[in-house]
Amino acid sequence: MPTISPVLRITIGLLLLTVSLLLLGDLLGIVPNQKQSEIDARKIMAESLAIQISSEIGENRVEQAGKLLNIIVSRNQQVQSMGLRGNTKQLIMKSDNHESNWVDIEDDHSTANHIQVPIYENQSRWGTLEISFVPLNSMMSDLFTSRSFTAMVLFIFVFGFITYWLFLRRVLSELDPGSVVPDRVRTALDILTEGVVILDTSERIVLANDAFKKKLGFSESELLGKHLSSLPWDMENDALSLGKEKFPWNSFLETNELPTLEHLKLKTNNYGILAFDISVAPIKASHDKIKGVIVTIDDVTELEKKHKELGRTLKNLEKSKEEISRQNLELTALATFDPLSGLLNRRSLFDGLNNLLTEAHDHNEVLSCIMLDIDFFKSVNDNYGHAAGDNVIKTVSEILQEISRPQDLAGRYGGEEFVIVLPRTEESEAAQIAEKMRLTISQIQFDEVSKKLTITSSFGITSTQSNTWKADKLIDEADQALYVAKQTGRNKLVRYSQKDIDSPKIQIESERVPQKNQNNMDEKVSTLPHTLNRVEHIEKPDLYSPETLSMTEVPSRTVILDRLTQAKKLASRNKTNLAVLTIFIDTIQLTNNTLGYASAEKLKKIAFDRLIETFRLSDTVMPEVSTSKSLSLSRSSDAEFTAVLSGIEQGTD
pLDDT at 416: 92
Count of beta carbons in the 10 Å neighbourhood of residue 279? 17
Domains and CATH numbers, the chain: 6-31+141-175 (no CATH), 34-136 (3.30.450.20), 177-299 (3.30.450.20), 337-550 (3.30.70.270), 575-649 (no CATH)
Angle of helix 519-539 relative to helix 377-384, nearest 10 degrees, comes to 110
pLDDT at 471: 92
The 3 state secondary structure assigned to 248-259 is HHHHHHHHCCCC
For the entire predicted model, the pTM comes to: 0.45
pLDDT at 455: 93
pLDDT at 357: 93
Cβ(460)–Cβ(479) below 8 Å: yes
Residue ranges, the chain, pLDDT below 50 = 1, 139, 141, 238-244, 501-555, 619-628
* Beta strands across the sheet bearing 272-284: 205-208, 195-200, 290-299, 272-284, 262-268
CA 236 to chain centroid: 14
Instruction: Tell me the average pLDDT of the chain.
Output: 77
pLDDT in tens, 453-512: 889 999 999 999 888 889 999 999 999 999 999 999 999 999 998 765 444 343 333 334
pLDDT at 368: 96
Q: How far apart are CA 100 and CA 634, in angstroms?
A: 139
pLDDT at 85: 81
Q: How far apart are CA 400 and CA 552, in angstroms?
A: 28
pLDDT at 519: 46
pLDDT at 269: 79
Q: How far apart are CA 618 and CA 335, in angstroms?
A: 36
pLDDT at 52: 77
**Which amino acid would we find at residue 115?**
I
Q: How far apart are CA 439 and CA 454, in angstroms?
A: 12
pLDDT in tens, 101-153: 888 777 667 787 788 888 777 677 777 888 888 887 654 545 555 566 777 78
pLDDT at 514: 40
pLDDT at 138: 54
Cβ(389)–Cβ(320) below 8 Å: no
Q: Quote the strand ranges of 152-209, DSSP E.
A: 195-200, 205-208
**Phi and psi dihedrals of 153, rounded to 5?**
-65, -45
